[in-house]
Every structure is written in structure tokens, then in C-alpha cells.
Amino acid sequence: MDYLARIVYSMARIVNHISCVALVVMMAMVVINVVFRAFGSPIFGAYESVGLLFSIMVAFSIAHCAVKKGHIAVNILEERIPKRMLPVVDSIVAMIGTALFLVLAWQCAVYAKIMWDKGELSMSMEIPFYPLIFVVAFGFLMLALVLMIDLYKSLTRVIGK
Amino acid sequence: MSPLTIGIVGFVILFILLAIRLPVGYTMALIGLTGFMYLVSVEGGLSMAARICWMQFSSYSFTVVPLFLLMGQLAFYSGISKRLYDAAQDWLGHLRGGLAMATVGACAGFAAICGSSVATAATMGEVALPEMKKRGYDPALAAGSIAAGGTMGILIPPSGILIIYGIMTEQSIGKLFAAGFVPGLLEAVFYICTIWIICRLNPRLGPAGPKVPLRKKVVGLWGGTIETLTIFVLVLGGLFAGFFTPTEAGGVGAFAVLALVVLSRRLNWKGFIDAIYSTTGTTAMILIVVTGAMIFNRFIAVTRIPFELANFVAGLNLPPMAIMAMIIVAYIVGGCFIDALGLILLTVPIFFPLAVSLGFDPIWFGIIVTRVTEIGLITPPVGMNVYVIKGVAKDVPLVTIFRGIIPFLYADIIEVVLLLFVPQIVLFLPSIISY
């Protein structure tokens, strides 16, 4: 399991690098388009590409964000939950999260397949949507894996007691 | 069970799951998805969730979020806050409580290039706390002025919260930014007056510093203040004039800050990488909450809760102002427990239609909600800004920071009442801009 955890965490880190690159490209594209437009020749499909880059940026950063415990939660009961109950509560939270994102990953993959069959293309540059929807599905799958490792970690604390 | 009952059950489960610390975005997505599947159909719910995820993740309107975040993050790592603070200190440091006033002024300045309250409080905390400590300021006043001053980050444009509000309610982000400007400045003035009053009552809290010659004051302005002003005018001027879309304003702003700090050699490679990293991380966090909220909203729409609530409230025959007062109290109470973004996403779908049906201006309502949410950032038990300050000032107990907040809460309440009864303060600027 530790081996799996290492693989998942390093994959989350690697795809997060892609996310960072997508952000920089987004910024560059927006600025270049503004400059070109000022001279009367805006870049063809700039808005669309920024939106599509955004999907890559978000899908590839959600798992790493979960590794860093970056997804906001409400902490009012933190100190009121008895210490020995914490691993149990953590297990429930991780279990719900894993199940939710497995379902979302699966449904996004289904949706990508539908868009593939329909041959849906973006408006101006006619880029097919389905590969990017698969990327989103992959992002959710990675997030589910990270949460599954959280689940394993808190379960071992429950059993270890 | 009627859809309305299911909706209420959904809310109860939502609060239970939030209480066991399931992240806000996951919770809303889960309740929205299962509730929708129960009320409409299993297949309908599943395909709705997938469609919404893709729609949010690929939406051009949300691309504004990471770009403005990046602009704020680059400013955070660039040392602009230090230069702003030095300039403000030159002008105000010789007054009683002057360093605390300078802190508020520098927070307002930093808020003009950063859309996040937490980032504003964090960067100012690192700069201003050591200075105030050196001069023997009361720790409660020092911490309180930064925590409260930092909240201006989401009111003075750019603002992450106003962006999210604008997208959710289909209001112009440009107009919302313009509307936040005067109330944000007013807030700074109110805080400075608060500091002036408490230091007058008890001069030991903030000893006056030496006077700075006028020449040095003017020269000092040339650093951070001019930089900040230039970027602010470029970014928001372009947005207000209709030359940029909000995304372009964010992109140009991020690039302008980047160019500035690279040319003046104040940002190294590590700072740049850190800024990029925290931007993608925060965007991921925001998008998960936003997507969860959008799924949740579909469910809420099917339960007809907003409609029933509006009917119920209309049946009460209360004056609209009384209802608005209740909404504000609900936000203040909610803000004590849920963070700003979660609170806005959870409540706006319910309260926005109500406010509009009562005849309130949607832009004005956005500013009121944001202004009230700011209070939640500094009230116990989950005042984010207080914890940020605590992170910088490890030797100051939490209770002391919360004690330091109290005078600023009075100022907050007075300003909210003022904005309620004089909506022109909010609506004048947006009425004259084109975008």
C-alpha cells in the first residue's frame, strides 16, 4: 500500500506540473491576444483555447490539492470530537470522498464517450471536446485514489488502536 | 415526501457532513447529486453531474479566477507590501496609533492588486507586525488592525468573492468591482478613525513615532505606491472602459506585476514557482467548491426551496428592509462557522432571488453580502484572518487577537448600516462605467 501511495502521490505531483504550465500558457495567451487585438488582428480562437487550457489546469491540480489537504472543510467540531473517534470520523470522510469522485470520474468518462460518438467540436477551432473530458475524468480518478489512500491510512489507525 | 421536505432533509444532512469535516465542495456535490437522483431520476442525476463538472472546468468565465489569483500571488511574493507599508508609515507614523493606521492604509493599497483577504492579511502580517512590536504597540491592537485591514482584500477590487458572485448571479464583474471601490475606501477610513479613537482613549496602546521630513515622504511615495496605482489603473481602468474582459484584465494584471518585479529584480525563480503553485492549488480548491455548489443548486432548484421561501417571506408582509436585516444577521451568524467562499456559494442561490424579488439592486446586494462576509473572516470560532495572523505571530494568544478585533467590529456594523440606508455609496460608480 505504501508503494501504491508513493506512485499516486508522485503522479499527482507530475500532473500538477502540467497544470502549472497550462496556467502560464493561459496568461501568455491572454496577454498576447490583448496586444494583437490592439493592433487589429486578434488571435483566432483565443477565448476558446483559454477555456480549454483551464480544464487541463483544474483537472490536473485537484488531486495534488487533496494531497496537500487544500480542499476547505469546516473545523468547528475538530476539538470536540474525542481523540479516539477521530480516525473513525476521518475514515468515514475519506470513504464518502472516494466513492463520490469514483462516481464522478466514471460519469465524466461516460460523458466523454457520448461526446466522442456525437463528434462534438469546439465552435471556432473545431477541437474535439472528448479528449479533454477524459482528462477531467482522469483528474477525478486521481483525486479518488488520493482519498482512498487517506482512507487506508485512517483505517490502519482505527485497527491499530 | 414532498420535494420541499426532501430539500430540508438535504440541508440537515449537509450540515451533519460539514460538521464531520467533509470538505465543503464534496459535501455540496454529494447532497446535490443524491438529492437530484432521488427527486428526478438516477440516470438524470448522474449525467447532470458530469455535464456540470465539464461546464465549470472548461468555462471561459471562470478563467478569470486563476489569473487574478496569480496577480495577487505574484504581488505577495514581490515585496510590494513592504514598500506600501513604508510609504504609509512615513505619512502616518508620527501620530498616536500611526503604525496601525499605516497598516490599514497599506492593506487597502495591497487589496487594490490582490483579490483575497487571507493573502492581504498574511502579507501585511509579515511586514507590519514586527514593526509595531518594535515600537511597543499593544499586541491586540497590532494584530486586530492587520486582521481587520486584511478583510478589505475581497471588497476593494479585484475581488475573488465578487468574481464568484458575479458568475453565479450573471451580473457584470466590472460593475461589481466598481461598486466595491468606494465602500472599500470607506472601510479603510472607518478603521483609521477607530484606531484614532482607541489610541486617544488609551495612548499607551500605540505610541507616536518620530516625524518624517516632507521630502522623504514624497520620495517614499515613488516606490510601492506609484507601482500599485499604475497597475490598478491599467487593470481596472481597462476593465471599466470595456477594453478588457475580466479574464483579460486578470491576465494583463498578472503579467504587469510579473514584468514589474522581474525588471526590478525583486522576484527570483523560486518566488515565481511558489506563486504559480499556490495559484493552481487555490484554483483547484475554488473550482471543487464551485462545482459542488452548482450541482447542489440543481437539486435546490428542484426542491423549490427558493420559490417557497420567497412566497413565505412575501406572506409575512414585513418591510423589505426588515427582511434584508434578517438576511444580514443570517450571514453574520453563518460567517462565524463557514468560510467566505462556502458561505457565498451555499446561500446566494437562496437569498439572491429573494433579494431581487424584494426590489433590491443585484449589484448592491453583492456588495452588502461581501461586506458582511468580511465580518465572518474575523469573528470566532472560524475567522480565517485571525488564524492567518496567528500563523505569523506565534507568540500572541488567539484570545488577544480576538480582543483586538472588537473595536473594528463596531466600525464594521456602522458601515453596513450606512450602506443599507445610503445605497448610492455603492451604486454611484457602477452607474457611470461602460462595462
Q: How confident is the model at residue A15 (pLDDT cuts 50, 70, 90)?
A: very high
Here the cell at position B375 is 465580518
Q: Which residues between 395 and 424 in chain B have a beta carbon less than 8 angstroms from any beta carbon of chain A? A: none
Q: Of the candidates A34, A57, A73, which has its C-beta nearest B244's C-beta?
A: A34
Interface touch A89/B20, C-beta < 8 Å: yes
Provide the pLDDT for residue B286: 92
Angstrom distance (rounded) from CA B227 to CA B232: 9
Q: Is A128 helix (H, G, I), strand (E, B) or coil?
A: strand
Q: How confident is the model at residue A154 (pLDDT cuts 50, 70, 90)?
A: very high
Average pLDDT over residues B292-309: 90
CB-based contact, A19 to chain B, within 8 Å: yes
Here the cell at position B167 is 458568475
Q: Of the candidates A34, A55, A74, which has its C-beta nearest B338's C-beta?
A: A74
- Is the per-residue pLDDT at A84 higher than 90? no
Provide the pLDDT for residue B367: 97
Q: Return the residue of B nearest to A136 by Cα.
A: B54
Average pLDDT over residues B207-225: 85
- Is the per-residue pLDDT at B378 higher than 80? yes
Average pLDDT over residues B54-58: 94
Provide the pLDDT for residue B206: 92
Q: How confident is the model at residue A135 (pLDDT cuts 50, 70, 90)?
A: very high
Angstrom distance (rounded) from CA B219 to CA B216: 5
Q: Of the candidates B51, B252, B276, which has its C-beta nearest A111's C-beta?
A: B51
Q: Of the candidates B25, B57, B251, which has its C-beta nearest A58's C-beta?
A: B57
Provide the pLDDT for residue A86: 87
The values of phi and psi at residue B281, to 5°, are: -60, -45
Q: How many CB atoms lie within 10 A of CB B216?
A: 9
Interface touch A23/B23, C-beta < 8 Å: no
Average pLDDT over residues B160-176: 94
Interface touch B337/A16, C-beta < 8 Å: no
Provide the pLDDT for residue A131: 95
Interface touch A34/B337, C-beta < 8 Å: no
Angstrom distance (rounded) from CA B367 to CA B420: 10
Supply the mean pLDDT for chain B: 92
Angstrom distance (rounded) from CA A135 to CA A60: 8
**CA-closest candidate to residue A28, choices B255, B261, B279:** B255
Q: Which residues between 268 and 297 in chain B have a beta carbon less than 8 angstroms from any beta carbon of chain A? A: 273, 276-277, 279-285, 287-289
- Is the per-residue pLDDT at A70 higher than 70? yes
CB-based contact, A96 to chain B, within 8 Å: yes
Q: How many CB atoms lie within 10 A of CB A145?
A: 23
**CA-closest candidate to residue A18, choices A51, A45, A65, A53:** A53
Q: How confident is the model at residue B434 (pLDDT cuts 50, 70, 90)?
A: low
Provide the pLDDT for residue A95: 97
Provide the pLDDT for residue A110: 97
Angstrom distance (rounded) from CA B324 to CA B108: 28
Average pLDDT over residues B182-204: 96
- Is the per-residue pLDDT at B105 higher than 90? yes
Every domain of chain A and the residues it spans:
2-160
Give the residue carrying C-alpha cell 514581490.
B78
Interface touch A31/B282, C-beta < 8 Å: no
Give the CA distances from residue A106 to residues B55, B64, B102, B118, B412, in Å, rounded to whole numbers and listed in that order: 16, 28, 53, 35, 47
Q: Of the candidates A33, A71, A74, which has its C-beta nearest B285's C-beta?
A: A71
Interface touch A71/B26, C-beta < 8 Å: yes
CB-based contact, B318 to chain A, within 8 Å: no
Interface confidence, given as ipTM, is 0.94
Provide the pLDDT for residue A161: 59
Report which of residues B322 and A124 the model is more confident about: B322
Angstrom distance (rounded) from CA B412 to CA B190: 8
Provide the pLDDT for residue B48: 96
Average pLDDT over residues A96-108: 97
Interface touch B276/A92, C-beta < 8 Å: no
- Is the per-residue pLDDT at B435 higher than 70? no
Interface touch B337/A23, C-beta < 8 Å: no
The angle formed by the CA atoms of residues B76, B79 and B81, to the nearest 5 degrees, is 70
Chain A positions touching B30 (Cβ under 8 A) are 96, 100
Q: How confident is the model at residue A77 (pLDDT cuts 50, 70, 90)?
A: low
- What pTM does this model have? 0.90
Supply the mean pLDDT for chain A: 92
Angstrom distance (rounded) from CA B329 to CA B322: 11
Q: What is the pLDDT of residues B247-256, one digit of tens each?
A: 999 999 999 9
